[in-house]
Amino acid sequence: MSGHWDKPIENSIDALRHGMMEFDGVEFDMRLTMDGELVLFHNNHLSKEQVEQIGGSKWTEDHTAEELAEVGIETFEQLLADEAFTHSWREHGKVACVELKMPHPNSKIAGSVKPKKREKHARAMTKLTDSMLNEVGLHQSNVVLISFKRKFRHTCARANVRWPVAQLKPAIPEIGGRKMKRVLTLPSFMWLSLAFHLKHQKMVGAPILPCALEYVYGATRHITLGRTFGLKGYTGRRLNRLRKGYQAYVWPAPIAVESSLHDLGLTGMTDDTSPETITHPGGGARWTRWASQPLDSQRETLLRNADPSDHSALIQEAAREVTPWHELTDIERRGFLSIWRKRWNWEREIDELAADSSPQTMPWEMSRLLGHRGSGKDFD
C-alpha cells in the first residue's frame, strides 16, 4: 500500500472504474443534456470556472454533451465502452445504483415547474437509460435505478423500464444551495417514518431501501415519526427485525460506521475509497469487498484483531488468497448464504437465495460496500 493515491474526480470514468474494481459496486449520477445525451454529473449547475470556459448558461442541461466534454464531463456511452468497468460489473456480480437527476427549474431546455414538462424530460431520460443498459448484458440484480423525482416508479413504468427501481426519500428540491436544501427537506424528513418507508418500498417491489444515514445514526434519528432505529444495540436489532433481510443502502457511509453497517448486514455507500485507508477508527483492518470477495469468520476475526502495523500486509494477503464471489463453487456460495441468513435474520429460504446466486449474480439481501460517485464525493 505504498505510494500516494490521487482521488479521481467524482462520477468520472476513472473514479467509477476504481469503485467497481475495488469495492462491491458503485453509485453514480446522470443528467440528460440538451442534445439528448446522458452525462455523468451530479450538480444541476456548472462551476464558475466551467461556465467561463464554455460560456452560456450555468445549468447543466442547457449544454450539449460536446460542450460539457470541454470541461471534463464524460458520457454514459463512454462509461459503457470501458471494458474494465463493464466486465467487473457484468461478470463479477457487482451492482450499480444509477441515480437519474432532474434539472433546475430555471434550466431553459428542461426546467420549468410544470409537471408535464418535467415528466416528459424524466421519461426521456429513463427510456434512454433503459435502452443503453439493455445492450450491456447485465442481470436484473446488477443495477437499480434511483431518483429523488417524485413518483419516479410511475415514470419508469410509463417508460416501460425493465430494470429495478427504488425511490429516494425524502425528496430534495432542485432549488437552493446545500444548506437551503437541507432546510427545505427537514419537514419531509421528520414526517417520514423509516418503518413506513421500508414497508412501502418493499410492497411496491423495490429491491432495496435507499436510506439516508440520518435515519439510523446521530441525533437526527430521534426526530422522525415512529420508532427509533440505529446501528448498534437494541435499535440495531430492532432494525434487523423490521428488515428481515430486506436490504437498506445507507448513504453516506463514513468510515466510522462501516463496521456497524456490516455487523448488521447493511450496505454502505462510502466517500473514502482510498487504498491508503487501511485501518478503521475503532481498530481493525479495513476490508472493502464485503460481498464480491467475502471473508470467512476466521479471516474476519484476524483482520478485526490485528495490530495496525500488520494491516497493510494482511489486506494484501487476503486480496491474494481469498476466493472472489465469481470463482466460488455453488456449494461455497450456498455456505456463505446460509451463514448470513442465520446471522442477519433473512426471511427468504436458502433454496430461493441460492437460486438467485451465480458467478454473475448475488441476492439483493447481500451486505455490500459501494463507492459513492465512484471513488467518493468531491469535497470543496
Identify the CA nearest to 94 among candidates 37, 39, 29, 19: 19
pLDDT (tens, 9 = 90+) of the chain, 380 residues, equals 456 889 999 999 999 999 999 999 999 999 999 999 999 999 999 999 999 999 999 999 999 999 999 999 999 999 999 999 999 999 999 999 999 999 998 888 766 667 788 899 999 999 999 999 999 999 999 999 999 999 999 999 999 999 999 999 987 777 777 788 787 888 888 999 999 999 999 999 999 999 999 999 999 999 999 999 999 999 999 999 999 999 999 999 999 999 999 999 999 999 999 999 999 998 999 999 999 999 999 999 999 999 999 999 999 999 999 999 999 999 999 999 999 999 999 999 999 999 999 999 999 999 999 999 999 999 76
Can you tell me the distance from the alpha carbon of 305 to that of 199, in angstroms, rounded to the nearest whole number? 37
Which runs of consecutive H residues, i.e. helices, occur in 208-254?
Answer: 233-243
CB atoms under 10 Å from CB of 290, counted, come to 22
Measured in whole angstroms, the distance separating CA 53 from the mean position of its chain's CA atoms is 31
pLDDT of 173 reads: 72
Model confidence pLDDT, tens digit, residues 156-180: 999 999 999 999 998 777 777 778 8
Identify the CA nearest to 75 among candidates 44, 36, 48, 110: 36
Residue 223 CB-density burial (10 A; 0-12 exposed, 13-18 middle, 19+ buried):
exposed
CB distance 280 to 258 below 8 Å: yes
Can you tell me the distance from the alpha carbon of 4 to that of 105, in angstroms, rounded to the nearest whole number? 42
pLDDT of 3 reads: 65
Overall residue count recorded for the chain in this entry: 380
Give the cell for residue 196. 413506513
Residue type, 123: R
pLDDT of 183 reads: 79
> Domain 13-372 classified CATH 3.20.20.190?
yes
**In which element (H, E) is residue 48 found?**
helix 48-54
